[in-house]
Amino acid sequence: MASIAPDPKSGMWRIQFIYAGKPFHKSLKTRKSEDATALAGRIESKLFHLITFTLALPLGADLWQWLLSDGRREQKPEPPQKAWSLRNLFDWYFTNQTKNAKESNTLRTERIHRNHLLRLLGESVLMSAITPADLQDYINHRATETWRGNAITPGTIAKEIASLSMVWNRAAKLMPQFIRVPCPTDGLKYPKKKQKPPFQTWQQIERAIGRGGLTDEEKREL
């Protein structure tokens, strides 16, 4: 039913057989004759049961993988998926944008957010390694930075984290083989926003001027 012989070049033992009119020539992945003989015996046994209908090949199964694994595996194992880094995540997102789905200004803002996230969290950090503590550190660090002499506002930092969460959670739905969990944003704390001074009538403003003028903050609110 089946015959085996060593390959003259590699020394690997090979098996030949015919099933359902189709010839098979496969490597037994061994150079040891005793292992090749034992494996060929198991394969012949399975083939015998198939052609006598005492066993059925599972629907959709790869015959050779099923025979080689003694019926334990139905398909060739897939190579492990490469783990995504933060750079991989954003590259996927911007590469797969639907045309005209977003305004150019929106995409520009999202790219600015991406650049800050890559700068502080690290381009090569694996998505599976990012924790709530990492995102909190990002928030805390951004709160110490300035732009054109002004402190980065809590609202800006929140929007950057929101951009990360949007891209991350979108990938979790569309690419679950790479992203398996949602963005860990629960419990994050942001700096408090500066409170605006209470509403003042024009008469109250005049009285303030009379006592020495408005403060700089009051002037900005006018």
Q: Which domains does the chain have, with CATH numbers?
A: 2-68 (no CATH), 86-191 (1.10.150), 195-222 (no CATH)
Looking at every residue in the chain, the average pLDDT score rounds to 88
The predicted pLDDT at position 73 comes to 85
- Structure token pair of residue 83: 């783990």
Number of other residues whose CB lies within 10 A of the CB of residue 28: 21
Q: Work out the average pLDDT over 34-58.
A: 92
Supply the pLDDT for residue 175: 93
Confidence of residue 222 (pLDDT cuts 50, 70, 90): very low
- Span 70-113, pLDDT tens digits: 888 888 776 666 889 999 999 999 999 988 899 999 999 999 99
Whose tokens are 């911007």? That residue is 94
**Single-letter residue type at 153:** T
Distance CA 139, CA 112 (A): 16
Strand partners of residue 19: 22
Q: Which helix (H) or strand (E) is 119 found in, with range?
A: helix 104-121
Residue range 109-159, pLDDT digits in tens = 999 999 999 999 999 999 999 999 999 999 999 999 999 999 999 999 999
Sheet order of strands, 2-6 included: 2-6, 13-19, 22-27
* pLDDT surpasses 60 at 197: no
